[in-house]
Amino acid sequence: MNIDITEAVKSLVPDTAYSTDNGKIVDWDMSEIKSNAIQPTDAEIATEVSRLQGIYDSQEYARNRAEAYPSLADQLDDIYHNGVAGWKISIKAVKDQYPKT
């Protein structure tokens, strides 16, 4: 997933209204802002896009693990049949396949 300017603007000034065209902000309605925030510059928005993209990218291992783990019902069944030690082996295989970066 690529973070776009709308995510960055929501992060910087969550209460503002704006419109976009081809990935650019073309109109700001700062009257909607409920705090004393000011309109972010293009550079601030670009920096926020990069920051949010970095956070998203750094969590890829967690998204991969969540898909790869067995369902909770299957994990409980694994514990019942193989004990916690056997369950840990199953879970460790997923953790080893998708290590934290």
Model confidence pLDDT, tens digit, residues 39-62? 888 899 999 999 999 999 999 999
In a domain, 34, yes or no: yes
The answer on pLDDT for 33 being more than 60 is: no
In a domain, 27, yes or no: yes
How far is 43 from 91, CA to CA, in rounded Å? Answer: 43
Q: Has this prediction a pTM greater than 0.85?
A: no
CA atoms 12, 17, 21, 27: torsion sign: negative
Q: What is the pLDDT of residue 43?
A: 94
* Number of domains comprising the chain: 2
Closest CA to 5 of 37, 51, 57, 36: 51
In a domain, 29, yes or no: yes
Other beta carbons within 10 angstroms of residue 46's beta carbon come to: 13
Q: Are residue 52 and residue 82 in the same domain, yes or no?
A: no
Q: Are residue 49 and residue 83 in the same domain, yes or no?
A: no
In a domain, 63, yes or no: no
For residue 12, give the amino acid letter: L
In a domain, 91, yes or no: yes
In a domain, 17, yes or no: yes
Q: In this predicted structure, which of 10-19, 20-29, 36-45, 91-100 has the lowest mean pLDDT?
A: 20-29
Q: Are residue 43 and residue 83 in the same domain, yes or no?
A: no
Which residues span the domain enclosing 48? 5-58
Q: Are residue 13 and residue 48 in the same domain, yes or no?
A: yes
Other beta carbons within 10 angstroms of residue 87's beta carbon come to: 18
